[in-house]
Structure 1
């Protein structure tokens, strides 16, 4: 399955608030579709599937990408669910979004792909690049790039900067001080259900 490029509000109506996917909120509080208002009781599989879909759509991953992250998280010591969230949160596109340089993760991915973002003064155009503590994220020294980011900073996607990041608005420069802690993950999700969903295939 490739990355989702359809209507985003339809997804947020079905799965709930996804801060990385869109800043818009749905006017209708029930899921889309003919039977959105009178859904039957969901099975355990449906609950796990929904949590997995939240993760996939919020971070803009394909099914195979998410499966790779789950397998990678399993090889690391510690809670698989927490390691999985840390791997996703430390991606360059998500870090760019959390610094406020872009209003959503898809917008941050575009900034990265188009060569506007530098890591330790080198242009990195791979959205899935894993950021590490000590690295400095900044904007390439081009007027167009800086103007774009300055506009985005006026309307950040999330108001609070996570504790593992620091940002200098004058230099348009962010620094990663540590790996993100679980409490600063903005997405409301039960990561254990995602691990359980993949337990048969990962």
Structure 2
């Protein structure tokens, strides 16, 4: 299946909560989830009662879409998490949060994960001084993320950094906005990451 290229606002409306896919618009009153808090389509406002499987599926779809992953990618991360010694849900969040594109977004160097992925793919990002153009690159504690010198002046990056300075910095990251550089200090704890879905539902879905 090809990557979704339609309106990302419809994705948030379909899931019923913000997935922060639209950048600054998600933080403004113009957010579609605020203006039209119901699913898109002719019958979107109708009340529907989901089965247990339906709730599990929606939880999986929401988390997958939040991080911008396709089914095969997401299943790979779940399988990796399930083989680790710690609780599967915690391991899954650590893997997802340590992706390079997600970290660039969390640091405020991009207004959305989609924009962060584009910046990585186009070769604007350095990890420990070396160019990395793979958005799925998994970071390790101590890795330093920064922009190439000629990429720091890109307008979308400057706008994202300016907006991010008014927000709370994730405790597992250290950020120098002036230098457009950050450090992945450690893996986040489960309670430090705001996830709008029930991880146990996803585990149960894949364990069938």
TM-score normalized by the length of structure 1: 0.92
Does the alignment pair 1:164 with 2:165?
no
Aligned to 2:146, the other structure's residue is in SS state strand
Q: 1:138 Cα shift?
A: 0.5
The range that moved more, 3-12 or 85-94, is: 3-12
The answer to whether the Cα contact below 8 Å between 2:104 and 2:110 also exists between their aligned partners in 1 is: yes
The range that moved more, 66-75 or 145-154, is: 145-154
The residue aligned with 1:9 is 9
Structure 2 unmatched ranges of 5 or more: none
Distance 1:176 1:56, change over 3 A: same
Q: 1:87 aligns with which of 95, 99, 102?
A: 95
Q: 1:80 Cα shift?
A: 0.4
Aligned to 1:147, the other structure's residue is in SS state coil
Cα RMSD, aligned residues only: 1.5
The residue aligned with 1:22 is 22
Q: 1:157 Cα shift?
A: 10
Structure 1 unmatched ranges of 5 or more: none
The range that moved more, 37-46 or 75-84, is: 37-46
Q: 2:75 aligns with which of 53, 67, 78?
A: 67
Alignment size in residue pairs: 197
Aligned to 1:138, the other structure's residue is in SS state strand
Q: Deviations over 1:82-138 (max 9, x none)?
A: 111110011000000000000000000000000000000000000000011011001
The structure showing larger relative contact order (alpha-carbon pairs under 8 Å, at least 6 residues apart) is 1
The answer to whether the Cα contact below 8 Å between 1:115 and 1:125 also exists between their aligned partners in 2 is: yes
The residue aligned with 2:153 is 147
Q: 1:165 Cα shift?
A: 0.2
**For the residues of structure 1 that align with 2:63 and 2:102, how far apart are their CA atoms?**
13
**For the residues of structure 2 that align with 1:109 and 1:37, how far apart are their CA atoms?**
33
Q: 1:40 Cα shift?
A: 2.5
How do 1:121-132 residues align onto structure 2 when only pairs under 5 Å count? 121-132=129-140
Distance 1:8 1:181, change over 3 A: same
**For the residues of structure 2 that align with 1:34 and 1:28, how far apart are their CA atoms?**
13
How do 1:171-190 residues align onto structure 2 when only pairs under 5 Å count? 171-190=179-198
Q: Deviations over 1:161-195 (max 9, x none)?
A: 11010111222110111101222323312111111
